[in-house]
Amino acid sequence: MLVHAGDELDYRLEMIQVADDTYAFIGEKEDFSRSNGGNIVNTGFIVTDTGVIVIDTGPSLLYGQQMREAIGRVTDKPIIKVLLTHHHPDHIFGSQAFADTPVYALPGTLESIRGEAQGFLDNLYRMVGPWMKGTRVMESVRVLEIQHENIGGHALEYITMSGHTAGDLMVFDEKTGVLFAGDLVFHNRALTTPHADPGDWMAALDRLLNMDFRILVPGHGELSSSKDAVEQTRDYLLWLESTIRDAVQRGLDMNEVMQIPLPERFQALAVISSEYPRSVIHRFPVYEEELLQ
């Protein structure tokens, strides 16, 4: 729950213990708004014998600060590494609060941050207002170049994928079986597609279906102890792309595609009424250009 009383802003972050040494903060299944302060994302951290590994930092400096305070209530171990799963604004702008810690991202993520982060930040200031006070683009992000690392008794696998964006990092802890999947997986929330490459995304989801994890932390929505969240994301992505492609081939215009009835199995997805039209706007021109060529 968020609190906004006068100048007092508080995300009231509540953590869930996912497994031994492993915690997650679960955001609202909503669009950005002043009422949620941009807290629509799942973030997390792993407490190792050496120190704390943070996965994603939330939408604002304030979120990062309050995330750091919450971590301090669990352990007095130092925060030794921050990992950004991709470049979307709800995942990266809390990184300022970890300026004393190395922050890592994939090369594609770093390139996208350099090209798009300032525009994202300007939009967030407009959408969530005072929650963004003092938030800036953090420039000192390092390239993650390793695929495996043993830290304080935890064997971590850094899985390089793409599809939701040009660089999608998944973090798998072999000790606990917890997989932080970033926005490659949405659970009971409609996925977003501004930078989607559906072929790469489907390949990533197929790989996920063959992975042996115990708990999956999606980028948005509830935790999952099965492959259901992966299958749901895959099912919706496949329907979305085939529906838009078919509509373009049949000569429908963009507004007509937006009026196509949603299958019953997708109607309960959070924010589907706003995300489906956005996806049509993102993907319709791609298939229109493909048809013209």
Neighbour-count burial of 151, counting CB atoms closer than 10 A to its CB (0-12 exposed, 13-18 middle, 19+ buried): middle
The string of pLDDT tens digits covering residues 170-179 is 999 999 999 9
Q: Is the pLDDT of residue 1 over 60?
A: no
Q: 96 CB contacts (<8 Å, ≥6 apart)?
A: 61, 64, 134, 135, 136, 138
Residue ranges per structural domain of the chain: 3-227
As given in the structure block, the two tokens for residue 292 are 């013209």
Q: Is the pLDDT of residue 29 over 50?
A: yes
The string of pLDDT tens digits covering residues 179-196 is 999 999 999 999 999 999
8 against 266, higher pLDDT:
266
pLDDT for the residue 3: 53
Q: Is the pLDDT of residue 66 over 70?
A: yes
Q: Is the pLDDT of residue 197 over 50?
A: yes
pLDDT for the residue 14: 87
Give the whole-angstrom CA distance, residue 161 versus residue 173: 17
Please give the average per-residue pLDDT across 146-169, as a whole number.
98
Q: Is the pLDDT of residue 5 over 50?
A: no
pLDDT for the residue 2: 53
Percent of the chain beyond pLDDT 90? 94
Average pLDDT taken over every residue of the chain: 96
**290 falls in which pLDDT band (50, 70, 90)?**
confident
In the CATH scheme, what is the code of domain 3-227?
A: 3.60.15.10
Give the whole-angstrom CA distance, residue 70 versus residue 155: 24
pLDDT for the residue 186: 98
Give the whole-angstrom CA distance, residue 143 versus residue 140: 10
**7 falls in which pLDDT band (50, 70, 90)?**
low
Distances (CA, A) of 120 to 76, 108, 112, 126, 222: 33, 17, 11, 10, 25
Please give the average per-residue pLDDT across 234-252, as a whole number.
97
Q: Both ends of the chain: CA-CA distance in Å?
A: 50
